[in-house]
A and B are shown apart, each in its own frame.
Chain A
Amino acid sequence: MSTLQVTQARVMKSEWTKLRTQPGALWSLLSAVILVVAFGILYSLLRVARPPHGAAAAASFDPTSVSLAGVQLAQVAAGVLGVLLITSEYATGLIRTTLAAVPRRLPTLWGKAAVMTGAVVAVSVPAAVAVFLAGQAILGRQHLSVSFGEPGVARAVIGGALYLAVAALLGLALGALLRSTAGGIAALFGLLFAVPILVGFLPGSLADEIGKYLPGTAGLAVTTVHPDPATSLGPWTGFGVFCAYALVLLAAAAVRMRRGDA
């Protein structure tokens, strides 16, 4: 096809070119991988040095989520990637060049979302599988390991990688809404870390009940092989809730982007 026309596929190609030529974004992506792998190995080493004592502790020990502990840190890097991908364009004024070329505007937002999700999944799935295998090798020294084939394990590992992709989408949506790098990152931290702390101040059972539905807690349910129903939603339900947060914010970002001045 050689006619000059803006299409969603072409905008995605353009956004891919931008992503791979934006060092800040690539560093965020690399940081996410390093955090997943390095912190997972570190935490596995820590737990193997101090194995669970007693039957109750041993029963609730989840070797899969121990090896995936790095996901909770890497979500920051993934979220920052999402924020930067859009706010760097607002900060430099490049967004005007971009949107003058794509005046319907939303293909740009969807293009960024798609390319970024693809990139995060492409690096985080291998990272999560690798750190799972490394973590189990470490935990195996104390016979604490599980195999990838056991029920719920593969889902938790792949879910950990998908969690990072959705965290990145959350960052993208916040960046597009606030159009400021500092504001976007602050909002991301607030949503993922500050809100759970505030909810923690509520009376116990209420805190647990509300806490389940907070984005981070809900999303991380997918990385737990046996989520505790008292404090956590089911794995895919929780992940669905996490996705819903990202989608609602993306929809709000789309409305803001589509209407009014660029």
Chain B
Amino acid sequence: MIEIHELTKRYGPTTAVSDLTFAVRPGTVTGFLGPNGAGKSTTMRMILGLDEPTSGSVTVNGRAPRAHAAPLHEVGGMLDPRAVHPSRSAYHHLLALAQTTGIRRSRVDEVIDAVGLRSVAGRPAGKFSLGMAQRLGIAAALLGDPATVVLDEPVNGLDVEGIRWMRGMLTELAAQGKTVFVSSHLMSEIAQTATRLIVIGKGRLIADTSVADFIASAAPASVWVRSSDQRALATLLQSPDVTVSFADDGALVVSGLLAERIGAIAAAAGIAVAELSTVETSLEDAFVDLTKDAVEYRAASLEEEK
């Protein structure tokens, strides 16, 4: 359980996180979504007790992060999978970490097996591929069998096999009753694993919702129609709850009506329908739509400059 209350973090004149309040609950995977520079990593550093909040509070499993007697048993974190000593072996990296808290040596072997690094455990961690480094980071996060797991962009840079493995791992951790908080800047990465969503932009909370609600609240699906008489059909479909527009290639773009209903109206009017297709709003579109005012850096659109 992570509880964040009116959390603000400033670095000099820059406000990285502003007045955030939300909770991350056990037993589910909660996605932490926001564009790059939104304040996700800063928030995660405060959850791990590394950065001090300027104001507001963070508690993990009911206590301030730095107040735990055995932090590795309370919250396991991965911020940067490349944060290892390049010539120290993966095994010794984990062993040194385990020793701080009195975690038994056999647990080091357990987590190495759990993330599938057995065959390379004796190799220098600096020679690992990104995928292997991510697995080592997960192993370090799981070392103390923590109730809460915080992972910054764990899927970033993984291949398909790695992504599938990571999703399985996150789902399993949540099924064990752990609090799993995972950041990403890509909605599509999160949507298949997380059930809850915290969305931030420019350090502020934009949404605290379930993935299902988020998708439902996103711009509704639209239906593309091609028919023998587009103008007549457009007039017929027009109503206060329905918007109809023409695409560049002459197709009708209808939102607010189901495809079946449009087909029925056309049939009743004797208009022959050549194409009728429903276009779901992509998650990425919904996310971009939601955060468009909160993106720190964005390429200027050519359209806007005209």
Which residues of B lie under 8 Å from residue A21 when comparing CB positions? 85, 87-89, 92, 96
B92 touching A96 by the CB < 8 A rule? no
Indicate if A126 sits at the interface (CB-CB under 8 A). no
| Range, interface on chain B | 35 or more
Of the listed stretches B66-74, B166-174, B298-306, chain A binds: B66-74
Q: How far is the CA of A259 from the CA of B51 in the complex (A)?
A: 10
Indicate the member of A11, A21, A104 with the most B CB atoms within 10 Å: A21
| Chain A proximity of B65: nearest CB distance (Å) | 6
Where the two chains meet, the residues of A that have a C-beta atom closer than 8 Å to any C-beta of B are 1-7, 10-11, 13-15, 17-18, 21-24, 88-89, 92-94, 96-104, 259-262
A261 touching B50 by the CB < 8 A rule? yes
Indicate if B97 sits at the interface (CB-CB under 8 A). yes
The 9 closest A-B pairs by CB, nearest first: A93-B83, A103-B66, A14-B99, A4-B70, A262-B50, A17-B96, A21-B92, A103-B49, A261-B51
A4 touching B101 by the CB < 8 A rule? yes
Instruction: Given A88-B85, A103-B68, verify A4-B50 contact (CB < 8 Å).
Output: no
| Chain B proximity of A161: nearest CB distance (Å) | 27
Q: Which of B80, B83, B95, B97 contacts A101 (CB 8 A)?
A: B97
Other than A5-B101, A94-B83, give 6 A-B pairs with Cβ distance below 8 A.
A2-B104, A6-B101, A10-B102, A22-B87, A97-B83, A101-B72
Which residues of B lie under 8 Å from residue A92 when comparing CB positions? 82-86
Where the two chains meet, the residues of B that have a C-beta atom closer than 8 Å to any C-beta of A are 45, 48-52, 65-73, 75, 77, 79-80, 82-89, 92, 95-104, 140, 144
Q: How far is the CA of A99 from the CA of B98 in the complex (A)?
A: 13
A17 touching B92 by the CB < 8 A rule? yes
B83 touching A262 by the CB < 8 A rule? no
Closest to B42 in A: A261
Q: How far is the CA of A122 from the CA of B252 in the complex (A)?
A: 83
Closest to A9 in B: B102
A96 touching B102 by the CB < 8 A rule? no
Which residues of B lie under 8 Å from residue A7 when comparing CB positions? 102
B102 touching A93 by the CB < 8 A rule? no
B66 touching A4 by the CB < 8 A rule? no
Q: How far is the CA of A30 from the CA of B247 in the complex (A)?
A: 74
